[in-house]
Every structure is written in structure tokens, then in C-alpha cells.
């Protein structure tokens, strides 16, 4: 089970409640796109972390007010605003974790790939600055299409001579959060106990929940497997349609991204029991990038949980083969963009 839902959250709430943080705040986190729909609630959640000493909020607009607002919370970290490209370098210097939710979200009828033309350039520019100013940081890419923006980031870092595949992450935590929620509802399980690994990528059929690996173990009918898999794959679209033109998931995404930040900080802090799903450079399949469960440590990805891909059901094996062409094409599109 994921300890963010139990140990870390409980500790955070307890320490906030007592206003006496028990954990030493020492890490610097930068959020690029901090004034956005995800950026604002994510920054609030990161501001609550007892592990964070400095929170750098960067955006091209409106970030001063967000930082002023957050800076009144009496939690350990100092929140500072950085606006516009001329302040980007300062936003990144000395940072341990960089989270990138900058970019445009979907509207109804769009695919994540429809965001490529705008977001690819934004991610490229921001990662160039990361390479120049904090090349050792963990980099969390949220901007869509993640299946392409992570390969773009990798190419940019390679061009700058600072690529460390263990520290570049596509954030797919929301897929796991959704899978856990939907499975717990469907099977009447205690939500806090449920953990469903989600592999592949972060768009449509490339999102593959491994329901057969659900913990605690649960049995599903064929209909339940089909229904849950399709709902998890389309959950982003479910939110886009409900928001009817006002954007995509922001609050659940901020929650998921904060969980991934907290896990990364715990790993950096020496916790040896941190596991998360993430879209990373991988040798688990024949694809160069692949989302799967990884063990996080001080140096980033420490190990892959190879066992997740063993003993798949027929349904999961077929779905894994079916997702490969789309995921390969998205990865190649990102690589080509970065090298053009």
C-alpha cells in the first residue's frame, strides 16, 4: 500500500494541527506554472509539507498574488514569487524538486495530443532552464501530452549534457489515485488500503491499470474489468466534459502531484520504502519510456518492480500489446520535436 495515504498524510495533518512540525524542513521545491489551475492548489499542498523549506513559484503572470497569499500560511516553508523568463533562473537555483504543470489544458473534444503544438515548446524552454540552473534536481513533468513531453525533456537534457534518466519523471500518479478510488468504490473496499498499479503511459488506451495486481487482492468479473479499465482510461475526459470548456482536472491533479512530490522528498530524505508509478526511461518493455512502479531513493529511480509485468491476465497482456503503437508514436513525436 502507498504510505502517502497513511503515514505521510497523517504525520502532515498531525504536525500542522499541532503547529509544531516534527520533521526538519530542508528541501527546496519549484513549481513552474504556479498560478494555474493545478499550480495554485499544488503549491498550497506543497506549502503544507513539513519537508519543504523553500517554495519557489514561477509563472509568466499572476504569481505574485499567489505567493503573497500562500506566504501567510504558518507552515515552515517560505513562498517566493518569480515572474517571467528573466526570473526563471533564480526560481530554479538550488532547487531539489522541480514540478512542471505549465501549459494549456484540454477542452471537450480534444485529445491530449492536441495540446502538443503549444505545450511542447513550453516544456522545452522550461527544461532548458532546469538544465542550466538545477541539473541535479528531480524533474516532475505534468504538462500534457506527458507521453511526448517527457521524451522532449529527456532530449533537451541530453543536448545540455546533463540527462540523468533516474531523475526525470512523467507524473502519472493521478491514474493511480483514480484507479484506487474507483476500485474501492466498486468492490466496497476501505479506500486507504487500496493500491492498483497503473502502467504504460498517460493518454487513453496507453493508461493500463493492472487490476489483477490490486492490493488487497480482489476478484473482478470480466464486465467489471472492462468497465473499470475504460473508466480509468477516460477519467481525464470525464472531468474535461464536466468542466465543459473550463479546463481539465486541477484539484485531483494537485492532490496526486503533491503525493508524488512528498514521495520524492521522503526518498531524498533517506526513506528506503518509497514506491510510486511514474512514466520514466525504462527497459521493462521494448519502449524507451514506460510507466510502471518504481522504487525511489536519494538518486531517483532505484529499481523497477519487474514483477508487476509478470503473470498478467490475458486481458492485460492484450491491452499491453495494443497500447504500444500509440505510445511509441507519441514518444517518437516528442523526440523528433526536440531534435528538429
Q: Which residues bind ligand NAD (CB under 6 A)?
A: 32-33, 35-39, 59-61, 101-106, 115, 119, 122, 126, 142-144, 146, 171, 174, 202, 247-250, 253
Beta carbon nearer to ligand NAD, 50 or 101: 101
Part of the chain binding ligand LMR (CB under 6 A), chosen from 29-37, 156-164, 234-242, 306-314: 234-242
Which listed option, ligand LMR, ligand NAD, none, makes contact with residue 101 (CB within 5 to 8 Å by class)? Answer: ligand NAD
CB of 166 to ligand LMR, least distance (A): 24
Which listed option, ligand LMR, ligand NAD, none, makes contact with residue 239 (CB within 5 to 8 Å by class)? Answer: ligand LMR
Q: Which residue is nearest to ligand LMR (CB)?
A: 236
Beta carbon nearer to ligand LMR, 136 or 238: 238
CA dist 33 to 37, 38, 63, 99, 211, Å?
Answer: 9, 8, 9, 9, 34
Site track 13-52 with ligand LMR (rule: CB under 6 A), x = hit: ----------------------------------------
Q: Is 201 in the site for ligand LMR (CB under 6 A)?
A: no
In whole angstroms, give the CA distance from residue 170 to residue 142.
6
Beta carbon nearer to ligand LMR, 76 or 236: 236
Reported in sequence order, the residue ranges of the chain that DSSP labels E, i.e. its strands, are 27-32, 52-59, 78-83, 97-100, 138-141, 168-170, 198-200, 207-209, 274-281, 289-297, 300-304
Q: Is 140 in the site for ligand LMR (CB under 6 A)?
A: no
User: Which residues fall within 8 angstroms of residue 116, CB to CB, at 6 or more apart?
Assistant: 145, 148, 333, 337
Closest CA to 119 of 137, 98, 131, 101: 101
Helices (H) then strands (E): counts for the chain = 11, 11
Which listed option, ligand NAD, ligand LMR, none, makes contact with residue 338 (CB within 5 to 8 Å by class)? Answer: none
Which listed option, ligand NAD, ligand LMR, none, makes contact with residue 61 (CB within 5 to 8 Å by class)? Answer: ligand NAD
Q: Is 97 in the site for ligand LMR (CB under 6 A)?
A: no
In whole angstroms, give the CA distance from residue 256 to residue 327.
22
User: Does residue 171 contact residue 144 with C-beta atoms inside 8 Å?
Assistant: no
Q: What is the DSSP letter of 97?
A: E
User: Before 216, cis peptide (omega within 30)?
Assistant: yes
- Our measurement of the distance from residue 3's CA atom to the centroid of its chain's CA atoms, rounded to an integer in Å, reads 17
Beta carbon nearer to ligand NAD, 50 or 66: 66
Which listed option, ligand NAD, ligand LMR, none, makes contact with residue 142 (CB within 5 to 8 Å by class)? Answer: ligand NAD
* From 56, 72, 140, 202, active-site residue: 202
CB of 39 to ligand LMR, least distance (A): 14
Beta carbon nearer to ligand LMR, 265 or 323: 323
CB of 62 to ligand LMR, least distance (A): 21
Is 202 among the residues known to form the active site? yes
- Name the CA dihedral angle for 276, 277, 283, 287, rounded to a multiple of 10 degrees: -160
Strands 27-32 and 97-100: parallel
CB of 50 to ligand LMR, least distance (A): 28
Closest CA to 175 of 315, 293, 265: 293
Residue showing cell 512523467: 170
The Cα angle at residue 246 between residues 241 and 249, in degrees rounded to 5: 65
Q: Which residues bind ligand LMR (CB under 6 A)?
A: 105-106, 112, 144, 174, 236, 239-240, 248-249
Report, as residue numbers or ranges, the catalytic residues.
Answer: 202
Amino acid at each position: 500500500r502507498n504510505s502517502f495515504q497513511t503515514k505521510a498524510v497523517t504525520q502532515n495533518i498531525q504536525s500542522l494541527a499541532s503547529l509544531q512540525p516534527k520533521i526538519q524542513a530542508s528541501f527546496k521545491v519549484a513549481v513552474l506554472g504556479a498560478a494555474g489551475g493545478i499550480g495554485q492548489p499544488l503549491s498550497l499542498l506543497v506549502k503544507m509539507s513539513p519537508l519543504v523549506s523553500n517554495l519557489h513559484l514561477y509563472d509568466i503572470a499572476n504569481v505574485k498574488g499567489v505567493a503573497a497569499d500562500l506566504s501567510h500560511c504558518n507552515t515552515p516553508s517560505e513562498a517566493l514569487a518569480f515572474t517571467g523568463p528573466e526570473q526563471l533562473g533564480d526560481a530554479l537555483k538550488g532547487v531539489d524538486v522541480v514540478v512542471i504543470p505549465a501549459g494549456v489544458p484540454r477542452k471537450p473534444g480534444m485529445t491530449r495530443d492536441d495540446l502538443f503544438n503549444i505545450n511542447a515548446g513550453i516544456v522545452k524552454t522550461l527544461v532548458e532552464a532546469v538544465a542550466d540552473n538545477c541539473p541535479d534536481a528531480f524533474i516532475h513533468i505534468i504538462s500534457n501530452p506527458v507521453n511526448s513531453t517527457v521524451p522532449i525533456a529527456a532530449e533537451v537534457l541530453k543536448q545540455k549534457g546533463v540527462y540523468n534518466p533516474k531523475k526525470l519523471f512523467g507524473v502519472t500518479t493521478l491514474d493511480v489515485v483514480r484507479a484506487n478510488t474507483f476500485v474501492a468504490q466498486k468492490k466496497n473496499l476501505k479506500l486507504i488500503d487500496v493500491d492498483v498499479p497503473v502502467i504504460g503511459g498517460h493518454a487513453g488506451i496507453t493508461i493500463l491499470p493492472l487490476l489483477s495486481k490490486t492490493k488487497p487482492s480482489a476478484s473482478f468479473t470480466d464486465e467489471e474489468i472492462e468497465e473499470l479499465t475504460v473508466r480509468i482510461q477516460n477519467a481525464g475526459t470525464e472531468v474535461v466534459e464536466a468542466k465543459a470548456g473550463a479546463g481539465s482536472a486541477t484539484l485531483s491533479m494537485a492532490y496526486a502531484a503533491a503525493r508524488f512530490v512528498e514521495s520524492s522528498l521522503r526518498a531524498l530524505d533517506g526513506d528506503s520504502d518509497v514506491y510510486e508509478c511514474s512514466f520514466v526511461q525504462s527497459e521493462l518493455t521494448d519502449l524507451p519510456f514506460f510507466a510502471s512502479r518504481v522504487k525511489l531513493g536519494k538518486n531517483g529511480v532505484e529499481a523497477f518492480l519487474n514483477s508487476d509485468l509478470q503473470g498478467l491476465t490475458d486481458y492485460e497482456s492484450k491491452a499491453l500489446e495494443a497500447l504500444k503503437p500509440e505510445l511509441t508514436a507519441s514518444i517518437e513525436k516528442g523526440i523528433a520535436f526536440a531534435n528538429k
